[in-house]
Amino acid sequence: MKIIKLSAIAAAVALASVSVGVNAKTTLIKKDDLEVYTSMAVEVEKMVFRDRPRDGGSTIDQWDNEVEFGLGAKIGENWEAYFEMEVDNLQDNAESNTGSGGDIEFTSAYVSYKASQFGAKAGVFRDDMAGGTRIWFREHMSGAKLQYDISDNVGVEFVSGILSEEGNAFADDRQVSWFTTTVGGAYGTLGLAQDGNQGGENITNDPDQDDVDDAFGDLYNVALGWGGKLGGISAEFEVNQNFGEAETGEDFKGYAAYGQISTKIGDHKPRLLVAYGSGDDDVTDNEVGEFRAARADTAFTKLMIDEGFVRRAVPSGSGDLAQDDIGNITLLQVGNTFQVNNIWRTDVSATYLALSEDNDAGDNYLGTEINFLNRWSLPIEGADVRLYLDLGYVFSGDAFGPDNVWLIEPGVRVWF
């Protein structure tokens, strides 16, 4: 399967977060067709940020420390098994967006097979969809994936699984499935997300609001996109269309799109990004006009989108947002990634954000967010060390303020 790299999302995620894959490994056994290896990562992160501008504001001061341990085995040229667990100890001085800590999570536990044109994986995993998009879905799931390369430029992928256990039967669980076809730099995906018989997750992802599971139902999504080069310019675009029926009987009609262009000028890579997620222009009709994602993972901005600050600003009935979702959001971003030297990479951006549909007060301007993200990769023998410092500031608009919000996030991550 040809995986299309989407530079806007990939670059943003790479700078705004740290990957969860096996970045470094230690071989324990290597004999004939068997290799057994381990991987370990330790991350120490400090976050200080200003939140809740509509409630008078509060300053959150927290540590987010993680330890990851993985154990894997490769058998011959085709088979691999991998298990990974993560201990997350989040400690803060007040209620925050990111929730409670002290959790033990099994982030990976799968068996995979790859031979020539065919590939398969089963278990717990978190993979990009074949097209590379994260606007509609990217999250850990328990399921199975099948891939087949019809030719060097054409491939298909089918994935089905569950996101959360809600009952004793498969029909009780929250489920997601998709089928993707890639043709060169183009791709098309048909996805389906369903709440099980026992309900599902709160769409708003906001503990201050009542559970609204019955608004989910059967959510279908079609995504069409393309990524490639036009001379010296890298370009990509994608459109998404929701359809299906909520458990309330309402029809899903939301849609989203984004486009991005970038170019390489020496050690700089400037970019222009435009993204749009529809809002609900009439909450009294029989349609859900706001774009809905099954579980998105976009990081267009550090505070408003990646950390989910924007969801606290939008009143009920006019765009309740889960973290990383661009429903009811319009944004325009100019940015630049700069390789300062062989160990330091930085990204600076300015993003205008607005509600696609006015809120109940008639406001739509959320604000302008400035991000300054830094990564230092240190050449230390026996370990992969990454230092990072993320700075963000939002000049709040009427639909989000009145107060401005900000974030300071230094950290270090070491892979062994």
User: Does 2 fall in a domain?
Assistant: no
Q: For the chain, first and last CA: distance in Å? A: 30
In this model, does residue 214 exceed pLDDT 80?
no
For the ranges 3-17, 74-88, 161-175, the maximum mean pLDDT occurs at 74-88
In the predicted structure, residue 4 carries a pLDDT above the cut 70: no
Question: Structure tokens of 122?
Answer: 């089963």
> What is the SS3 assignment for 213?
helix
Res. 337: pLDDT tops 80: yes
**Domain span at residue 297?**
7-415
Q: What are the tens digits of pLDDT across the range 291-333?
A: 988 888 788 999 888 887 876 455 443 334 444 678 889 999 9
In a domain, 1, yes or no: no
How confident is residue 90, by pLDDT bands cut at 50, 70 and 90?
low
Q: Is residue 368 part of a domain?
A: yes
Sign of the alpha-carbon torsion through 291, 295, 296, 301: positive
More confident residue, 226 or 93: 226
At residue 390, the pLDDT reads: 97
Contact in structure between 404 and 392 (CB atoms under 8 Å): no
In a domain, 234, yes or no: yes
Beta-carbon-side half-sphere exposure of residue 410 (alpha carbons within 13 Å): 0
- Do 64 and 98 contact (CB within 8 A), yes or no? yes
Lowest mean pLDDT among 140-144, 156-160, 304-308: 304-308
Q: Which of 78, 176, 171 is nearest to 126 (CA)?
A: 176
The predicted model gives 201-223 an average pLDDT of 57
Question: Is residue 46 domain-resident?
Answer: yes
86 falls within a domain: yes
Name the token pair of 174.
């929250």
Residues 6+ apart with CB under 8 A from 51: 57, 58, 59, 60, 96, 97, 309, 312, 405
Residue 66 corresponds to which tokens in the numbers above?
């993680």
Q: What total number of domains does the chain contain?
A: 1
DSSP class of 315: P
Is 74's pLDDT higher than 50? yes
Which of the two residues, 25 and 391, has the higher pLDDT score? 391
- Tell me, what's the pLDDT at 295? 81
Residue 205: pLDDT above 50?
Answer: no
DSSP string for residues in 10-51? HHHHHHHS---S----EEEEEETTEEEEEEEEEEEEEEEEEE
Query: Domain of 43: which CATH number?
Result: 2.40.160.100
Q: In whole angstroms, what separates CA 184 from the centre of its chain?
A: 24
Average of per-residue pLDDT across 152-164: 90
- pLDDT tens digit string along 311-320? 645 544 333 4
- What is the signed CA dihedral for 14, 415, 61, 138, rounded to 10 degrees? 40
The confidence band for 251, taking pLDDT boundaries of 50, 70 and 90, is very high
Q: What is the pLDDT of residue 102?
A: 57
Task: Say what the alpha-carbon torsion angle 166, 171, 176, 178 is, to the nearest 10 degrees.
Answer: 170
CA–CA separation, 100 and 27 (whole Å): 35
Task: Please give the backbone phi and psi of residue 257, each rounded to the nearest 5 degrees, phi first.
Answer: -155, 155
pLDDT confidence bin for 95, thresholds 50/70/90 = very low
Say which residue the tokens 């799968």 belong to: 110
Q: What is the mean pLDDT of the chain?
A: 82
CA 392, 394, 397: angle at the middle one, nearest 5? Answer: 170
Name residue, tokens 């995993």: 125
Quick check: 269 pLDDT over 90? yes
The pLDDT value recorded for residue 19 is: 38
pLDDT of amino acid 274: 97
Of 123, 180, 111, nearest in space to 147 by CA: 180
Q: What is the pLDDT of residues 349-398, one digit of tens each?
A: 999 999 999 888 888 999 999 999 999 999 887 778 999 999 999 999 98
The pLDDT of residue 204 is: 38
254-259 average pLDDT score: 94
The whole-number average pLDDT for the span 396-408 is 89
| Side-chain half-sphere exposure of 373, counting CA atoms within 13 A | 22
Percent of the chain with pLDDT over 70: 79
Query: Is residue 321 in a domain?
Result: yes
In a domain? residue 262 = yes
Output 401 or 132, whichever has higher pLDDT: 401
